[in-house]
């Protein structure tokens, strides 16, 4: 069973209940849901599609960032949904394990934060002619996870570095503010 549009819609609704001031930022996602776009397919380029990420915090309250080869930027671990994913948080955990070697058994969500993401960010992805992908957007559903004594083993195909950084170094100021409040 793969992730459904209903799961995306209900997760967005729970998130907006907590963060109603972000409705304008999330408008492309809400409009795509209303239009019936297949947001689970990485081939949905008319607008964009959903991705899932992990906001990983260690015992020293630092944030894990990885250097993404294709974009040449420091990002959170995460990526596209796969047909075998059965939930959005599960997709984030799968991506975390794939890109960093940190398994779901080593990652703990803070109480009450297991079904609602800490952050949802809609951002532009540049065209990638080598893959035949036009510019589009990602709606990245991001779950916060705590890890103890993580051993990072990078996925060499997509990632060429990692760093534990202060939470203020989060990819967006909005996420940095949410992490400061944790």
pLDDT of residue 114: 63
pLDDT of residue 154: 87
> What is the H or E stretch that residue 35 is in?
helix 27-35
Which CATH number applies to 5-180?
3.90.79.10
Q: Is the dihedral of CA 159, 174, 54, 4 positive or negative?
A: negative
Q: What residue has token string 């930022």?
A: 25
pLDDT of residue 110: 67
pLDDT of residue 64: 96
Which of 77, 50, 52 minimizes the C-alpha distance to 63? 77
pLDDT of residue 20: 98
pLDDT of residue 70: 77
Cβ-based neighbour number of residue 18 at 10 Å = 10
pLDDT of residue 33: 94
| Spans of the chain, pLDDT less than 50 | none
């Amino acid at each position: 069973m793969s992730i459904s549009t209903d799961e995306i819609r209900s997760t967005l609704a729970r998130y907006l209940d907590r963060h109603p001031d972000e409705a304008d930022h999330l408008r492309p996602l809400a409009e795509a849901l209303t239009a019936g776009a297949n947001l689970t397919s990485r081939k949905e380029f008319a607008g964009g599609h959903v991705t899932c990420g992990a906001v990983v915090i260690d015992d020293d309250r630092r944030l894990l960032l990885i250097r993404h080869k294709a974009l040449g930027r420091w990002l959170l671990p995460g990526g596209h949904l796969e047909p075998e994913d059965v939930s959005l948080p599960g997709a984030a955990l799968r991506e975390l394990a794939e890109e960093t070697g940190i398994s779901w058994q080593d990652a703990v969500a803070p109480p009450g934060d297991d079904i609602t993401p800490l952050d949802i960010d809609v951002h532009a992805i540049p065209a990638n002619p080598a893959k035949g992908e036009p510019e589009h957007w990602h709606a990245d559903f991001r779950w916060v996870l705590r890890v103890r004594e993580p051993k990072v083993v990078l996925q060499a195909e997509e990632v060429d570095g990692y760093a534990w950084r202060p939470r203020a170094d989060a990819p967006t100021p909005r996420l940095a503010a949410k992490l400061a409040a944790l």
